[in-house]
Amino acid sequence: MMDNKKETPSKEERQKENEEIREMGTVEIEDGKTGHGIQLLTIIGEIEGHEAVSGNTKATKYEHLLPRLAQAEEDENTEGILILLNTLGGDVEAGLAIAEMIASLSKPTVSLVLGGSHSIGGPLAVSADYSFIVPTGTMIVHPVRSTGMFIGVIQSYRNMEKTQDRIAKFIASHSKISQERLLELMLDSTQLVKDVGTMLEGEEAVKEGLIDEVGGISQAFKKLHELIDRQREDRIKK
């Protein structure tokens, strides 16, 4: 009779796992009941792009996440990925790069918005196969902003418009909200003080079609297990 009891991790393995969490915000989880291998990724703080953020600022570095996602795609032991989000936004190009990478994975993915997923965090939240947001979670959608300097030439304004259009198209194609409705929310001048845009709380984000469901960590894990089982069944049928 086979013993399915999972071996207790060694001290060295636990130290390595703790180091991964501290440095990269990632950890591998193996469910003893289902046998599913899950990669946990966190996107916390500011999305750091080509320029380093302040040393006092919590940041997620895209040069850390992209190799990790590529590794998860090729790793036979990784069957699904759970992404935890709590970000105020950050570098647009870096955020879109991460979002496109997540969306192109062949492994099932589930995202969970904790606290908030603002600005470029929007594409990151919807890039997964299925998205959750906690009841008190928030999402802020707004137009692409400059660094505060006055835009003196029409070409700069057009480039910002094109970038905003890229973001809107990505969100609309990976969620249930239409691009037209998303732009309405982005340009709303009645909600945010001295700014345009809209803040959506948990239920509102779901009603607008931006997020699939209100839920927490247990619901997110349950959905990811369902998606992994479904993918396993599809492979067997083939």
Query: What residues are labeled active site?
Result: 119, 142
Query: Which residue's structure tokens are 């086979």?
Result: 2
Read off the amino acid at residue 149.
Answer: M
If you search the block for the tokens 């609309």, which residue do you land on?
A: 172
DSSP string for residues in 143-211: PPP-SSS---SHHHHHHHHHHHHHHHHHHHHTSSS-HHHHHHHHT-SSSSTTS--EEEEHHHHHHTTSS
Using CA of residue 53, residue 55, residue 57, residue 63, what is the dihedral sign? positive
At residue 48, the 3 state secondary structure works out as strand
| Residue that has been written with the tokens 């590794």 in this structure | 71
